[in-house]
Structure 1
Amino acid sequence: MEKIQNLLNQIKIISKKNAEILDATGGRFNMFQVCGVNHYENTHSAIIAEFLNPNGTHGLKSKLLECFIETLGEYFTINTFNCEKSRVRTEHSTEEGRIDILLEDNLNKAVIIENKIYANDQPEQLKRYNRYAQTYKSGYQILYLTLFGDNASEQSGEGISYLSISYKENIINWLEKCVAIASRYPIVRETIIQYINHLKQLTNQDMDTKNKDEITEVLSRIENLRAAQVIFKNYSATYNYIIEKHFNPKMEEFAKQKGLEYHFEKSEELYVKFHFTNSSWLGKLWIGFTFEGNRCHYGLCNNPNIYRISDENRKIIHEHLNKLGINSRKESNWWPFYAHFTNLSLDTWESEIIKSDIFLNDCKEKIEKLLNAMVGIEI
C-alpha cells in the first residue's frame, strides 16, 4: 500500500502542475464545450466539413482539404482527387440514407465520411452507402470516423471496403498541421486550436506533453509499474464502490416511494447502469439507464421476443413525453422510447455524485416523466 500511495502522490503532483499551467494560460477555455458541442455528430460534421470545403469561409481554399488527404497518406486510395474543383455537403440525402459528409470532385470521384461520435450504427448503414457510392465511376472511398478509431458493426460494414479513422489521432494530427497552414489567418488559426483542445478533452488527451513525459518516466520504474498494475486491476471496482456509497441508498428509497424495484447493474467511468421494475410490469417492461455505442441513454424498454408494447400505446407515451418537453422521436424494437444524456467524467463523478445529488436528481426527474407518460397505459 505504501508503494501505491507513493505513486499516487507523485502523479498527483504532476497532474496539479498541469492544471496550474492550463489555468495560467487559459487552456481550459473552450467555446466548443461551452456551446455543448460534445456529442452532437451533426455539429462535428458541420465543423469538419467547413474546414474541408475549398469554398469555405476560412479563405484557405483547398489547402486544408489537401492537408487532410496528405495526412491519410497511403491509406487514401483515390488517385488524383481534384481538391481545387471539389465541393462538400453535409447530411446529404440519398435513397440509401443521409450521408454525414460527402466530398465530390469534378472527375466523378467521391469521399464519404460516416461520423460516429457516440451513436450506434444503423441497419446495414455502410452497405447502403457503398451501394450509393458505386455511382461514382471514377473512384470513391468510405471513411468511418469515431473518437478512437473503432470499426463499424458487422451488420453495417461486413464485406465493405472502408477505412476506420479517429478523432484521437487522424483528425487531431490533421488539424495540428492546419494550424501552421492558417498561421497568417489568426481567427481561423485560433478557432482550429480551440477545436483541437476540445477534441483532446473528448479523447482524454488534455495534458501538456512535458507533463505526460514526466508521468511516463515515473511509471517506468519497476516498483511503480507494479503499483500501477494493482491500481489498474481495481480501477473499475472503485466506481461501483462510489455508487454503492453515494447513490444506491438514495435511489432505492426513491424507487420505494414510486412503487418500483431498483436494480443496480454496474458502473464505469463514463456511466452508471441500472433499471427499475414493478410487479405489474414484470416480464414485460422496465425503465432502463444504460450505455451502448459509447453513449449513455435511458428510456422505456421491453424484450420484443417476449412482449412488445402496442403501437397505440407507443404513440400515447410519445405524445405525453413531448408535452413534458422530452424528445421522444427515438425508438427501436427493444426501446419503445429512449433518449441520450451526457456521459459521466471524473469531474462529474466528483461534483455531481460524491459532493452533491445533481446526477441523482437528474435521474429522478427523468424517471418521473417516464412514469407520468405511462399513466393510463394498460400493460
Structure 2
Amino acid sequence: MEKINNLLNQVAIINKKNAEILDATGGRFNMFRVCGVNHYENTHSAILAELLNPKGTHGLKSKLLECFIDTLGDYFTIEKFDFDKSRIHTEHSTEEGRIDILIEDNQNKAIIIENKIYANDQPEQLKRYNRYAQTYKNGYQILYLTLLGDNASEQSGGGVSYLSISYKENIINWLEKCVAIASRFPTVRETIIQYINHLKQLTNQDMDIKNKEEITEVLSKIENLRAAQAIYQNYSATYNYLIEKHFNPKMEEFAKQKGLEYHYERSEEQYVRFHLTNSNWQGKCWIGFTFEGNRCHYGLCNNPNVYRISEENRKTLHENLNKLDIFSRKESNWWPFYAHYTNLSLDTWENDIIKSDNFLNECKEKIEKLLIAMEGINF
C-alpha cells in the first residue's frame, strides 16, 4: 500500500504541474468546449468539411485536403484524385441514406466519410453507402471515422471495403500539420489549434509532452510498475464504490417516492448503468440508463422477444414527449424512446457526482419527464 500511495503522490504532483501550466497559459480556454461541441457528429462533420473544402473560407484552397490524404499514405486507394476541383457535401441525401461527408472530384471519383463519434451503427449503413458509391465508376473509398478508430459492426460493414480512422490519431495528426500550413493565416491557425486541443480533451490526450515523459519515467521503475498494475486492476471497481457512496442511496430514495424499484448495474469512467421498474408495468418495460456503441443514452425499454409496446402506445408516448419539449427522440425495437446524453468524464465525477448532486438531479429530471410521458399508456 505504501508503494501505491507513493506512486499516486508522484503522479498527482505531475498532474498538478500540468494543470498549473494550462492555467498559466490559458490552455483550458476552448470555445469548442464552451459551445458544447462534444458528441454531435453533425457539428464535427461541418468543421471537418469546411477545412477539407478547397472553396472553404479558410482561403488555403486544396492544401488542407491534400494534407489529409497525404496523412493516410498508402491506405488511400484512389488514384489521381483531383483535389483542386473537388466538391464537399455534408449530410448528403441519397436513396441509401444521408452521407455525413461526401467529397467528389470532376472525374467521377468520391471519398465517403462516415462520422461516428459515439453513435451506434444504423442497419446495414456502410453496405448501403457502398451500393451508392458504386455509381462513381472511376474510384471511391469509404472512411469510417470514430473517436478511437473502432471498426464498424458486422451488420453495418460486413463484406464492405472501408478504412477505419480515428480522431485520436488520424485527425489530430492531420490538424497538427494544418497548423503549419496555415502559419500565415492567424485566425485559421488559432482556430485549428483550439480544435486540436478540444479533440485531445475528448480523447484524454491533453497533457503536456514533457509531463507525459516524466510520468513514463516514474512508472518505468519496477516497484512503481507493480503498484501501477494494482491500481489498474482496481480502477473500474473504484467507480462502483463512488456510485454506491454518492449516488445510489439518493436514487433509491427518489425511486421509492415515485413508486419505482431502483436496480443498479455497474459503472465505468464514462457511464453509470441502471434501470427502474414498476409493478404496474408487469415486467414488460422499464426505464433504462445505459451505455452502448461508446455512447450514453436513456429511455423507455422493452424486450421485443417478450413484449413490444403497441404502435398506438408509441404514438401516445411521442406525443406526450413532444408536449414536454423533448425533441431529440429516437426509437428501435428495444427502445420505444431513447435519447443520447453526454458521456461522463473525470470532471463530471468530481464536480457533478462527488461534490454535488448535479448528475443525480439530471437523471431525476429525465425520469420524471418520462413518467409524465408514459401517463395514459396501458401495459
| TM bucket, shorter chain | over 0.9
Does the CA contact (< 8 Å) of 1:322 and 1:328 recur in 2?
no
For residue 283 of structure 1, report the CA deviation from its aligned partner: 2.3
Give, in whole Å, the separation in 2 of the partners of 1:228 and 1:18: 20
1:251 and 2:247 matched: no
Corresponding letter in the other structure for 1:66: E
3-state SS of the aligned residue for 1:280?
Answer: helix
Matches within 5 A, 1:11-50: 11-50=11-50
3-state SS of the aligned residue for 1:108?
Answer: coil
Match of 2:184 in 1: 184
Note the alpha carbon deviations across 1:308-329, whole angstroms, 9 max, x for none. 1011111111111111121253
Give, in whole Å, the separation in 2 of the partners of 1:376 and 1:86: 54
Give, in whole Å, the separation in 2 of the partners of 1:373 and 1:328: 14
Match of 2:155 in 1: 155
Match of 1:208 in 2: 208
Give, in whole Å, the separation in 1 of the partners of 2:327 and 2:355: 30
Give, in whole Å, the separation in 1 of the partners of 2:195 and 2:318: 36
Match of 1:282 in 2: 282
The alignment's TM-score, normalised by the length of structure 1, stands at 0.99
Matches within 5 A, 1:1-379: 1-327=1-327, 329-379=329-379
Contiguous gaps of at least 5 residues in structure 1: none
3-state SS of the aligned residue for 1:206?
Answer: coil
For residue 136 of structure 1, report the CA deviation from its aligned partner: 0.5
Cα RMSD for the two superposed structures: 0.6
Corresponding letter in the other structure for 1:251: M
Give, in whole Å, the separation in 2 of the partners of 1:228 and 1:158: 39
Does the CA contact (< 8 Å) of 1:240 and 1:266 recur in 2?
yes
For residue 122 of structure 1, report the CA deviation from its aligned partner: 0.3
* Range 273-282 or range 124-133, more displaced: 273-282
Note the alpha carbon deviations across 1:112-146, whole angstroms, 9 max, x for none. 00000000000000000000000001000000000
3-state SS of the aligned residue for 1:151?
Answer: coil
Give, in whole Å, the separation in 1 of the partners of 2:276 and 2:316: 21
Give, in whole Å, the separation in 1 of the partners of 2:182 and 2:62: 12
For residue 282 of structure 1, report the CA deviation from its aligned partner: 3.0
Give, in whole Å, the separation in 2 of the partners of 1:171 and 1:354: 34
The alignment's TM-score, normalised by the length of structure 2, stands at 0.99
Does the CA contact (< 8 Å) of 1:3 and 1:223 recur in 2?
yes
Q: Aligned pair count?
A: 379
Note the alpha carbon deviations across 1:221-243, whole angstroms, 9 max, x for none. 10000000000000000000001
Does the CA contact (< 8 Å) of 1:320 and 1:373 recur in 2?
yes
Corresponding letter in the other structure for 1:274: F
Give, in whole Å, the separation in 2 of the partners of 1:324 and 1:260: 21
Give, in whole Å, the separation in 2 of the partners of 1:273 and 1:8: 28
Give, in whole Å, the separation in 1 of the partners of 2:222 and 2:297: 41
Corresponding letter in the other structure for 1:153: S
3-state SS of the aligned residue for 1:263?
Answer: strand
Give, in whole Å, the separation in 1 of the partners of 2:328 and 2:153: 25
For residue 376 of structure 1, report the CA deviation from its aligned partner: 1.5
